Amino acid sequence: MQQIKNGGLEVEAAMKQLQHLPFEDLGYARIDHHRSLRSGMPEVIFCPGKSEPQILEIFGSLLKSGVNIIATRAEHSTFEAIIQVYPEAKYHQPARIITLEQNQIERRGLVVVVTAGTADVPVAEEAAITAEMLGNKVERIYDTGVAGIHRLFACRELLDTARVIIAVAGMEGALPSVIGGLVRTAVIAVPTSIGYGASFGGVAALLAMLNSCANGIGVVNIDNGFGAACLASRINRIGSLEDEAK
Amino acid sequence: MQQIKNGGLEVEAAMKQLQHLPFEDLGYARIDHHRSLRSGMPEVIFCPGKSEPQILEIFGSLLKSGVNIIATRAEHSTFEAIIQVYPEAKYHQPARIITLEQNQIERRGLVVVVTAGTADVPVAEEAAITAEMLGNKVERIYDTGVAGIHRLFACRELLDTARVIIAVAGMEGALPSVIGGLVRTAVIAVPTSIGYGASFGGVAALLAMLNSCANGIGVVNIDNGFGAACLASRINRIGSLEDEAK
Amino acid sequence: MQQIKNGGLEVEAAMKQLQHLPFEDLGYARIDHHRSLRSGMPEVIFCPGKSEPQILEIFGSLLKSGVNIIATRAEHSTFEAIIQVYPEAKYHQPARIITLEQNQIERRGLVVVVTAGTADVPVAEEAAITAEMLGNKVERIYDTGVAGIHRLFACRELLDTARVIIAVAGMEGALPSVIGGLVRTAVIAVPTSIGYGASFGGVAALLAMLNSCANGIGVVNIDNGFGAACLASRINRIGSLEDEAK
Amino acid sequence: MQQIKNGGLEVEAAMKQLQHLPFEDLGYARIDHHRSLRSGMPEVIFCPGKSEPQILEIFGSLLKSGVNIIATRAEHSTFEAIIQVYPEAKYHQPARIITLEQNQIERRGLVVVVTAGTADVPVAEEAAITAEMLGNKVERIYDTGVAGIHRLFACRELLDTARVIIAVAGMEGALPSVIGGLVRTAVIAVPTSIGYGASFGGVAALLAMLNSCANGIGVVNIDNGFGAACLASRINRIGSLEDEAK
Amino acid sequence: MQQIKNGGLEVEAAMKQLQHLPFEDLGYARIDHHRSLRSGMPEVIFCPGKSEPQILEIFGSLLKSGVNIIATRAEHSTFEAIIQVYPEAKYHQPARIITLEQNQIERRGLVVVVTAGTADVPVAEEAAITAEMLGNKVERIYDTGVAGIHRLFACRELLDTARVIIAVAGMEGALPSVIGGLVRTAVIAVPTSIGYGASFGGVAALLAMLNSCANGIGVVNIDNGFGAACLASRINRIGSLEDEAK
Amino acid sequence: MQQIKNGGLEVEAAMKQLQHLPFEDLGYARIDHHRSLRSGMPEVIFCPGKSEPQILEIFGSLLKSGVNIIATRAEHSTFEAIIQVYPEAKYHQPARIITLEQNQIERRGLVVVVTAGTADVPVAEEAAITAEMLGNKVERIYDTGVAGIHRLFACRELLDTARVIIAVAGMEGALPSVIGGLVRTAVIAVPTSIGYGASFGGVAALLAMLNSCANGIGVVNIDNGFGAACLASRINRIGSLEDEAK
Amino acid sequence: MQQIKNGGLEVEAAMKQLQHLPFEDLGYARIDHHRSLRSGMPEVIFCPGKSEPQILEIFGSLLKSGVNIIATRAEHSTFEAIIQVYPEAKYHQPARIITLEQNQIERRGLVVVVTAGTADVPVAEEAAITAEMLGNKVERIYDTGVAGIHRLFACRELLDTARVIIAVAGMEGALPSVIGGLVRTAVIAVPTSIGYGASFGGVAALLAMLNSCANGIGVVNIDNGFGAACLASRINRIGSLEDEAK
Amino acid sequence: MQQIKNGGLEVEAAMKQLQHLPFEDLGYARIDHHRSLRSGMPEVIFCPGKSEPQILEIFGSLLKSGVNIIATRAEHSTFEAIIQVYPEAKYHQPARIITLEQNQIERRGLVVVVTAGTADVPVAEEAAITAEMLGNKVERIYDTGVAGIHRLFACRELLDTARVIIAVAGMEGALPSVIGGLVRTAVIAVPTSIGYGASFGGVAALLAMLNSCANGIGVVNIDNGFGAACLASRINRIGSLEDEAK
């Protein structure tokens, strides 16, 4: 709001203009172009609950606005529909993300993505691909469970150079606690729905992470690799924001 | 009961007659024609758990009684069976409602249906179509999340002219709180099962709505667009009921 | 916002003024005088989590602004502290509400408050006293459980004249379903924490109400008599709002 | 144990014999012929988790022992396999029960099965068919919801002549409370998984029934029509047992 | 309703009379004298949530109507207040029940109350005292855990002579399953809140009982000894009801 | 049963004798002297839910039978009552255990008890004292959280010499996973109720332990140090049992 | 760590070597060959969440290291892919385990696997096959429910000769309590997801086992036959470990 | 580990030294002096579950090591004991924190702490005091609920200058979503246990925050102001760490 240069406009009118400008109304969706312009971030389409034609239309609308695009939780069939129209789009298996990079992304600041097991990789990849699209450098360390903790220690050096660490784990979700005790930087914990029985679709891991004895861990929703990458990106760019502000 | 004009009938007999009159016994279903006659509302068929032949038979029975019909949560295949027999029936996608309007409905009093996201639209449409069939005017405002709250403010005027507002949201379910703080009229909150992980099929949104800091919000079951419309209609018609009573 | 008469003020300045005007900053609390002025409703102090001196200071601040005051969930000891300073304050046992009525309240439109059992009365009284303070006429029907349903039928006439019915019940929470099947007006269901074992502090009643087979019931939080009264009041005054608007 | 006529057998031997006699070991299943002989009840096969060949083998083994057979939760495909070998078997749709009646069953004592809605009928039929196979007379009253309670009152007379009433309901599960307040005999409450959202697969109904304000209601597991019939049968035969004992 | 001898009365008037007769309105409580007259059962006061003066007033009102009285979940201090006015009242420790027997109770039909542990005794006593007041013979078998199952087998004979068995257990709640496998009569399972940690105040026992592999067990709410006794009494008196009917 | 030397006794009589011998009936408690004789283990009194006189009476009864005694979850006031009568009794703070050792206990086989934090010590002490009373050698390693995992590694040698390890942890409960990955012997995991918020009284730790990625961990109830010691003792004595059998 | 023979190596270098040696990095999985070498146990592949090519590659990598292999929760289609390449592999139906035994396994120490019902057999078989692959002798006792407890008593002798008993049960999960009261050795309880309604996918059985009144029972995750076998194996081999240590 | 300068020491010895150095063993607590030295952060004592003498001893031990001290969740009585010995200690009401600042703390980088209501202030103060002790500048914005969202907008400027924002809210927990939509920097969400009924001690707020539609929000445990401050501090110091590294 404070960015509006207000001349002779009355409040009432300014408010109206303000309200109508920053989004495009497709009927079923109101695309917030403003956010993207404001933040330099790509626009994101969360695919579940949207029909294929809807996704295509939003995709097209975003493309016209000139930004880079991420579509998360995308079925491969959705990608096949998009590739017909936008052949530059890419599909990232197993992250289930479609990306289209119109403007080259400069990557700064290291985000390290760690998983406890192999089955956590799809969520980790959602985080990694998203973080890269949001302008972060990304390194991956996969399958380092706490029951074989020496596998994690082998990567100690890489962990120490990270600005942000995203720790992805299902089952008992102990990985972020162990990492949080090893490093001094911010740790983002992503519980995954990997497990069975009393893992309750990731609830066991979620609770373990919220109760971590290693203080200073921020937790996101179960399987929310995307959200973890967004938070990592918000953290990573704190310095840059201040530089811009100067 | 008080509408019965009791002549020389004995209580016992009157009671029996009273009990047998107002519904028709199809064996597996007892159709309450009385309710419809009493209230002027259309009869409603909740499809899940009923076989196609059962739905068709109830549909026919209601049709004969002269009322308008709503069948909710109807598969498209059910509609295809009905359209064979009753070609005037209509299917409302994505609300998954079949309607048949034998008597023209006069619509009075504005109900505004708002959603937080695009994925909440099917539930919102269930509410909107139902409200229209129950004799309410309906306006829709879709995809105004609380994270981009200026999209909601743009519709402030429309919200202020509503008699009842139905706020539909999944995920963190914050929309009704924000609307409840903006308007003075009744707000009905509908949690949806949109989300994943710790949304627990809509429980997160349900709890948020029940705990809203904006007092004066009535909550219905998860995904219960139909129930929200019924409540909106009960509220909207309060004036009319009193006028009738005079 | 739309009520601001904007002369030569610039947006930036107007926004600032707008933001600072409507509330008073006590450090730990920002009192929203604006809401009260805007809606004619009394100001409400929710006592739990506030110290006695804080409650007294907020009470005094509100009093100066000329409105009526409701303090809910107030210990009797809090009332004793308030009565020292403001001898016109009243304590409503068992509702645990303190009120101070500076301006006479005109009561219009009937709200009927019904309870399933005797133990539900404190929550019902919270609803009843609040509704009266908010300008509604209130009638009470207490202790009409669904297991002795004839006690409810005896009050059929009163129920039929209500604009809004607040149904308060713990244990299995079936009362709103039965009432919802009897009347045509809006029913607000208030689950109470009355019960033991598998009532889980009111969860059983809450779930029953959310799953009511009588469509058109709005549910509020467990023991939230206050919220029910706010919703009843929003509904009750719909007509008046429109008259004002003319 | 006390039925064993012990001659010169030593304890050790008697115990062994006792232990080996009453069941037949099929490897994956130990069939308790003793129970059936002891109680005159038919043998029951709970189909889920058993393969078709296993069900067929158990079916055959039971048949040879001369008892009547009930197979519950049976897919129609299972019935088709059984009918090939045992053409006298019958399939009860929608109860999903296969029965084979080798010995004619004398039915004594009335059990009334009531449902709240049409969708509860499959569970009610599981109860009704089972109760009939266990030697009880059964009457059915289906689709009498508490929101249209006059439909239930119409059947008052039948309810009063029942020895046991099985009340089957999903959603808010209020039916047993209302029936429990009307009759003096034992009421067995069966919650069903009918509903959606906050019904949590029948939990809402289960909790309502456990918290019923009508004292003297026995609750069984969600969708457990079979168990309700067993309990009804245990109750119904109390008199007969004593007559036998004389 | 059917018991009303209707002469020249009109329905409307009869209904009104019917509705007003059977209960006495104390303002906060509507005492259902009708139920007691109808069933010959004593009247019951559930004490929690009622003030001492309220309990005393209800106690007096019931006493005048000539019935026997049970007050459950009564603090000893409540008893001390009652004994001042009604010196014939008795307090049953550890059942926490106050009784006053104005009319001698004839006890018929054996109800056996069994507990798994010593800590379950208070709930068992609530059941036992209530059952006696409702006209049942009662025998007690306490502290027979399933981990020392021979203690239960020692009472086999007594179990076999019971018309109804009430099995009371906390912790893993396995007792009713074991008893249900031993006897042919009806078993009522009462989970208790005895246990700690993952017993969740009786939920573990409740779930075990609902999932019992011994079919034909009716479960009541956690710690609901009173409800178990009511159900036992409903079952026990089935024969008598039919004799009366003749 | 198989230990009975059966001479001329008939089954019926033998069974009766068998059933009545092994326990003493105090009315509210049936003491299973048989178990103690059979296993050489001390008798255990679980104090919660038992009155002080009851505990004293059971204490005395056990003492007479000549065994060692453990009373768990004992208030200090209970100990003060016992010490009056049995001055040789000892109170173990913070384990809240009373012991009386009539026969000297020979301790064999090392059980190591480890805790994650200081607040877990009371539960760990319940395990340690119980294990010692059951004839196991015990070593303690307290306050080795997974966030400072080098504190655990310092005790590696001691862990490797243990026959059984009891790992006690609240909060995120990751300790058993880490230990399970380090050692080859059996690990018993005890979740504690230490924590707040989303630890849900130990549920978070319980779930983490059940979902441990280190396979071969046996979990007991929340705060159940006693049960962990019993299991440790059962495991520790496996060799001895076989030696006895020879 | 203590096994490293450290000559002139510096800590830094030793640590690095230590860290890199014991696992092989396949990118998505880090195979811990060290664990296998260290413990003589076969390597285990948990199939869910891994693609078929990944499973094949891990299978091959393990095979080269010379160990025996277990792949759990394997679809039959996975086995068909493996059998193409490794024709010596075996599929164990219904355990859903693929094994390949390169080195003959010597089986020592008896583990008895017991189930409550037939439907629990797949989980029991996962435990049994795993235990055999881990070098334990295994006996199976299937379908001995607590409602027909004499079926269990018939196997008393076998139970008494076991070093470890694995008790597998769904529904009310009472089996381990009953066995724990009969035997003196360690009992491992495996809850299964067998049941419906309020069994909540095995939660009822899990809670019952955690709350068992038979002390000294170690519980594993729902359906975790594999984990139970690992724990049984850790326990069974305690003696051998000490012999090795000598 | 990598900081150890290893001369002629052997691995074994170095490891031992490494393990024993960094903590002090008080028996019930192992104080990790290493962590504090390593990170420059103050040492923290979490008071619940520790006795007063234990807290005093740990306090003294830390003091000697020369660091600043924070004791969280401290009763005022604990402070009174500490002030006797260490008169420079300070008690922060309502944060319930005791601090002792031996070395002056330089505060850099702005952390803004926002609350939804007045009752959330104690948790916010725990965050604020902790953050200040950890070397962050802190600004407070209290009582800005989402139902009166203009109160939040008034502080827009302050929010924009923050490096990290800690958003503290109970009830429906919508505040972080709204703030997350307004700002570009990292937002840490702290659910509080403020609320009643279906807030379930903060679970409603926790779930809302985990499901926030504003991506990039890190959630900590309910009421965990301390953990939020630790995370804020980790984030805030990222730049400094890199400067140090140069």
- Summarize the confidence of residues E94-120 as an average pLDDT: 94
Instruction: State how far the Cα of F39 lies from the Cα of H82, in Å rounded to an integer.
Output: 50
Q: What is the DSSP string of D29-42?
A: -EE-HHHHHHH-PP
**Does the pLDDT of residue G3 top 60, yes or no?**
no
In chain B, residues with a C-beta closer than 8 Å to the C-beta of D143 are 28-30
User: Structure tokens of D182?
Assistant: 């009307």
* Tens digits of residue pLDDT in F188-226: 999 999 999 999 999 999 999 999 988 889 999 999 999
Chains B and A touch (3+ CB pairs under 8 A): yes
Only one residue has tokens 């939804």, namely H116
Q: What pLDDT was estimated at residue F16?
A: 42
Residue G33 banded pLDDT, cuts 50, 70, 90: low
- Whether residue F2 lies within 8 A of chain D, CB to CB, comes out as yes
**Does the pLDDT of residue B146 top 80, yes or no?**
no
Chains B and F touch (3+ CB pairs under 8 A): no
Across the interface, which of D218, D222, D237 has its CB nearest the CB of E220? D218
- Whether residue D94 lies within 8 A of chain E, CB to CB, comes out as no
Residues 193-232 on F with a CB inside 8 Å of G are 206, 210-211, 215-222, 226-227, 230-231
Only one residue has tokens 């009939």, namely D132
User: Structure tokens of C84?
Assistant: 């020292």
Residue D242 banded pLDDT, cuts 50, 70, 90: low
Q: Which DSSP category does A32 fall into?
A: -
Only one residue has tokens 């304890």, namely D11
Q: What is the DSSP string of chain E?
A: -TT---SS--HHHHHHHHHHTT-EE-SS-EE-HHHHHHH-PPEEEE-TTS-HHHHHHHHHHHHHTT--EEEES--HHHHHHHHHH-TT-EEETTTTEEEE-SSPPPP-SEEEEEESSGGGHHHHHHHHHHHHHTT-EEEEE----GGGTHHHHTTHHHHHH-SEEEEEE-TT--HHHHHHHH-SSEEEEEE-----GGGGGGHHHHHHHHT-SSS-EEE--TT-HHHHHHHHHHHHTHHHHHHHH-
How high is the ipTM of this complex?
Answer: 0.87
Distance from CA of H209 to the nearest CA of B (A): 7
Respond yes or no on whether the N-terminal peptide bond of residue C22 is cis (omega within 30° of 0).
Answer: no
Q: Which chain F residue lies closest to H206 (C-alpha atoms)? A: F198
C-beta atoms of F203 and A203 within 8 A: no
* Tens digits of residue pLDDT in H203-220: 999 999 999 989 889 999
Query: Nearest to residue F172, comparing CAs of F154, F155, F152, F197?
Result: F197
C-beta atoms of E118 and F29 within 8 A: yes
What does the mean pLDDT of chain D come to? Answer: 85
- Whether residue A93 lies within 8 A of chain H, CB to CB, comes out as no
Q: What pLDDT was estimated at residue H4?
A: 36
**Does the pLDDT of residue D210 top 70, yes or no?**
yes
**Does the pLDDT of residue G145 top 90, yes or no?**
no
Q: Is pLDDT larger for residue D166 or for residue G184? A: D166
* Tens digits of residue pLDDT in B18-30: 433 446 677 777 7
- Whether residue G3 lies within 8 A of chain H, CB to CB, comes out as no
- Summarize the confidence of residues E7-33 as an average pLDDT: 52
Instruction: State how far the Cα of C213 lies from the Cα of C221, in Å rounded to an integer.
Output: 19
Across the interface, which of G6, G10, G12 has its CB nearest the CB of H12? G6
- Whether residue G119 lies within 8 A of chain H, CB to CB, comes out as no
C-beta atoms of B221 and D117 within 8 A: no
Q: Is pLDDT larger for residue B141 or for residue E25? A: B141
- Summarize the confidence of residues F15-22 as an average pLDDT: 42
Q: What pLDDT was estimated at residue A40?
A: 53
**Does the pLDDT of residue G85 top 60, yes or no?**
yes
What does the mean pLDDT of chain G come to? Answer: 85
Q: Is the dihedral of CA A212, A214, A218, A224 positive or negative?
A: negative
Radius of gyration of chain F (CA): 20
CB pairs under 8 A between G and H: 19
- Summarize the confidence of residues C195-214 as an average pLDDT: 95
Across the interface, which of E20, E28, E29 has its CB nearest the CB of C154? E20
C-beta atoms of A117 and G49 within 8 A: yes
Alpha helical stretches, state H, A163-224: 175-182, 203-210
Instruction: State how far the Cα of C143 lies from the Cα of E82, in Å rounded to an integer.
Output: 23
For residues A191 and H181, the answer to whether their CB atoms sit within 8 Å is no
Alpha-carbon separation of residue H92 from H60, H125, H131 (angstroms): 20, 8, 13
Q: What pLDDT was estimated at residue F210?
A: 97
Q: How far apart are the first and last CA of chain F?
A: 20
- Highest mean pLDDT out of G18-22, H90-94, H212-216: H90-94
pLDDT along chain A (246 residues), means of 10: 39 41 66 54 86 93 90 96 96 96 93 95 98 96 80 87 97 94 94 96 97 94 97 89 58
C-beta atoms of F223 and E196 within 8 A: yes
Q: What pLDDT was estimated at residue C28?
A: 75
* Tens digits of residue pLDDT in E227-244: 999 999 999 988 765 655
C-beta atoms of C172 and D171 within 8 A: no
Residue G31 banded pLDDT, cuts 50, 70, 90: low
Range of lowest pLDDT (B41-55, B67-81, H12-26): H12-26
* Tens digits of residue pLDDT in D127-145: 999 999 999 999 999 998 7
In chain H, residues with a C-beta closer than 8 Å to the C-beta of B117 are 213
**Does the pLDDT of residue C5 top 60, yes or no?**
no
- Summarize the confidence of residues G222-244 as an average pLDDT: 87
- Highest mean pLDDT out of C145-159, E178-192, G137-151: E178-192
* Tens digits of residue pLDDT in C109-158: 999 999 999 999 999 999 999 999 999 999 999 998 777 777 788 888 99
In chain G, residues with a C-beta closer than 8 Å to the C-beta of E200 are 207
Chains E and H touch (3+ CB pairs under 8 A): no
Q: Which DSSP category does A189 fall into?
A: E
SS3 state of residue D187: strand
SS3 state of residue A97: strand
**Does the pLDDT of residue G59 top 70, yes or no?**
yes
Q: Is pLDDT larger for residue A222 or for residue C8? A: A222
**Does the pLDDT of residue B107 top 90, yes or no?**
yes
- Whether residue E156 lies within 8 A of chain G, CB to CB, comes out as no
Q: Which DSSP category does H107 fall into?
A: P
Across the interface, which of H1, H6, H15 has its CB nearest the CB of G10? H6
* Tens digits of residue pLDDT in E188-220: 999 999 999 999 999 999 999 999 988 889 999
Q: Work out whether strand A24-25 and strand A30-31 pair parallel, antiparallel, or are unpaired.
A: antiparallel
In chain H, residues with a C-beta closer than 8 Å to the C-beta of C223 are 196-197
- Summarize the confidence of residues B206-215 as an average pLDDT: 94
C-beta atoms of D199 and C213 within 8 A: no
C-beta atoms of C194 and E35 within 8 A: no
Across the interface, which of G19, G20, G28 has its CB nearest the CB of A142? G28
Query: Nearest to residue B231, comparing CAs of B199, B189, B180?
Result: B189
**How large a percentage of chain B has pLDDT more than 90?**
66
Across the interface, which of E148, E150, E197 has its CB nearest the CB of F221? E197
**How large a percentage of chain D has pLDDT more than 90?**
66
- Summarize the confidence of residues G16-29 as an average pLDDT: 56
In chain F, residues with a C-beta closer than 8 Å to the C-beta of H54 are 118
Q: Which chain D residue lies closest to C147 (C-alpha atoms)? A: D181
Instruction: State how far the Cα of G38 lies from the Cα of G44, in Å rounded to an integer.
Output: 14
**Does the pLDDT of residue G100 top 50, yes or no?**
yes
* Tens digits of residue pLDDT in F117-139: 999 999 999 999 999 999 999 99
Q: Is pLDDT larger for residue E191 or for residue B40? A: E191
C-beta atoms of E181 and G212 within 8 A: no
Q: What pLDDT was estimated at residue C126?
A: 98
Instruction: State how far the Cα of C32 lies from the Cα of C61, in Å rounded to an integer.
Output: 11
Q: Which DSSP category does G41 fall into?
A: P
Instruction: State how far the Cα of F66 lies from the Cα of D72, in Å rounded to an integer.
Output: 54
Only one residue has tokens 């990170």, namely H39
- Summarize the confidence of residues D57-83 as an average pLDDT: 94
C-beta atoms of C29 and H151 within 8 A: no
Q: Which chain G residue lies closest to F190 (C-alpha atoms)? A: G218
Instruction: State how far the Cα of H113 lies from the Cα of H128, in Å rounded to an integer.
Output: 7
Q: Is pLDDT larger for residue G192 or for residue C149? A: G192
**Does the pLDDT of residue B229 top 90, yes or no?**
yes
Q: Is pLDDT larger for residue H173 or for residue A147? A: H173
- Whether residue G22 lies within 8 A of chain F, CB to CB, comes out as no
